[in-house]
Amino acid sequence: MYGYADKTFARQPQDTVPEYHGEEPSFHHTVDCVILGFHRTELHVLLHRFPYKPYKGHWALLGGFVTPEMSLDETALQTVQRLTGLDNIYMEQVYTFGEVRRVPTERVITTCYYALIRVEPTLEQLSPQYQATWHPLSQILNLDLVYDHPTMLRKAIDQLRLRIRLQPIGFELLPEKFTMTELRQLYESILDRPLDKRNFNKKVLAMNLLQKLEEKQKDTSKRGAFYYEFDADRYREYLEKGFLFEL
């Protein structure tokens, strides 16, 4: 029934070593990245046109093969770097997809990551060879993504939704200086529900992790809105004292 079912590496104790697994089957392993950016009140995903039949031209997450000298994390980072040119990307592993026929043409095991990046500085610098463009999250369902990429995307967003409430990772999606309105809209977009302006500001500012700047943003209103900065050092201090970020 299961050809290899009994070949657990724990099964038959023996003393011979190394390379004792040379006979075991092996698999192609790829990393697919849900690259997320926040643009004009909405969360966007960076997708590219899949270049291979039978899905040529369909939208897909960007991925890359794992190689012998790279870890999964490194592979993920490099995949995003190759496309965006960015260094210092915040990434997190989401899940590993290992169904036998998830890619019809062959067996591939794929680990999904999400990346949080700032859209603006990269908008014009995307490596043109990928034909990659940003898509608002709300319109992804119409796109007919490749393979199980819809499932990956869903899982990534679900995980982000949990994480963003307990860790200050939302700031990875905003420019260094941001307004309270931008921050709130970011959370509204990810949590997919409206948040009360006053309650939100109260809660965020009470954590005492934002530095209010003198400078005002004047793009979106005549009056202008104060910029704030996230104080990562202070966050680390607080962490050691047992502080818990929570929104």
Partner DNA sequence: ACAAAAGTGTTTATTGTACACCCATGC
Partner DNA sequence: GCATGGGTGTACAATAAACACTTTTGT
Count the site residues for its own copies by CB under 8 A: 66
Distance CA 92, CA 76 (A): 9
Which residues face 117 on adjacent strands? 37
Kindly tell me which residue out of 14, 219, 223, 241 binds its own copies, with binding defined by CB under 8 A: 14
Note whether 118 and 173 are within 8 A (CB).
Answer: yes
Binding of DNA by 67 (CB under 7 A): no
Q: Minimal distance in Å, beta carbon 214 to its own copies?
A: 40
Select 71 or 138, whichever has its Cβ closest to its own copies. 71
Q: What is the 3-class SS of 78-143, one letter each residue?
A: HHHHHHHCCCCCEEEEEEEECCCCCCCCCCEEEEEEEEEECHHHHCCCCCHHHCEEEEEHHHHHHC
Binding of DNA by 179 (CB under 7 A): yes
In the list DNA, its own copies, none, the entry touching 221 (Cβ below 5 to 8 angstroms by class) is DNA
Binding of DNA by 71 (CB under 7 A): no
User: Between residue 196 and residue 235, which ones bind DNA under the rule CB under 7 A?
Assistant: 196-199, 201-203, 216, 218, 220-226
Distance CA 16, CA 19 (A): 9
List interacting residues with DNA (CB under 7 A). 179-181, 196-199, 201-203, 216, 218, 220-226, 246
